[in-house]
Amino acid sequence: QVQLLQSGAEVKKSGASVKVSCKASGYSFPNSGINWVRQAPGHGLEWMGWISPYNGNTNYAQKVQGRLTMTTDTSTSTAYMELRSLRYDDTAVYYCAKDGPDSSFDYWGQGTLVTVSS
């Protein structure tokens, strides 16, 4: 069965960087894009960006453009999301999600809480 297993919770200082991993299993990793979606406390879901493990092409949301880098390692079927210059409003649960039919996300990771503190 398809599974996306994310790395554990992180606590970072304002201005630092965080890198979250998402290890995929149960399907052909290069054949489906990986998205990153976050949910800040008390807020809804927010799409951050997409990466193709096949060729490394990316598409980032304008809001985080310049601070966000997504990468993949096809040898380990793992996707990574690195967010730099962290701000307090980056505190959120970060999810990876696999491309599904018609721009949907059909499988999601369990989420990684990133807390930005002073």
Query: Which among 11-19, 26-34, 76-84, 100-108 is the span making contact with other proteins, rule CB under 8 A?
Result: 100-108
Looking at the Cβ atoms of 26 and 100, the one nearer to other proteins is 100
Measure the CA–CA gap between 84 and 73, rounded to whole angstroms.
20
The helix/strand/coil state of 67 is coil
Measure the CA–CA gap between 101 and 50, rounded to whole angstroms.
15
Per CB under 8 A, 89 contacts other proteins: no
Q: Tell which one of 92, 97, 114, 116 touches other proteins (CB under 8 A).
A: 97
Residue whose structure tokens are 């489906």: 32
Task: Of 105, 87, 88, give the one whose Cα is nearest residue 45.
Answer: 105
Binding mask 42-81 for other proteins (x = CB under 8 A): --xxxx-xx--------x-xx-------------------
Q: Which residues ranging from 6 to 45 are in contact with other proteins (CB under 8 A)? A: 35, 37, 44-45
Q: Tell which one of 95, 112, 114, 116 touches other proteins (CB under 8 A).
A: 95
Task: Of 45, 43, 48, give the one whose Cα is nearest residue 18.
Answer: 48
Per CB under 8 A, 105 contacts other proteins: yes
86-114 b/e with 16+ CB inside 10 Å = b? beeebbbbbbbbbbeeeeebebbbebbeb
The binding site for other proteins (CB under 8 A) comprises 35, 37, 44-47, 49-50, 59, 61-62, 95, 97, 100-111
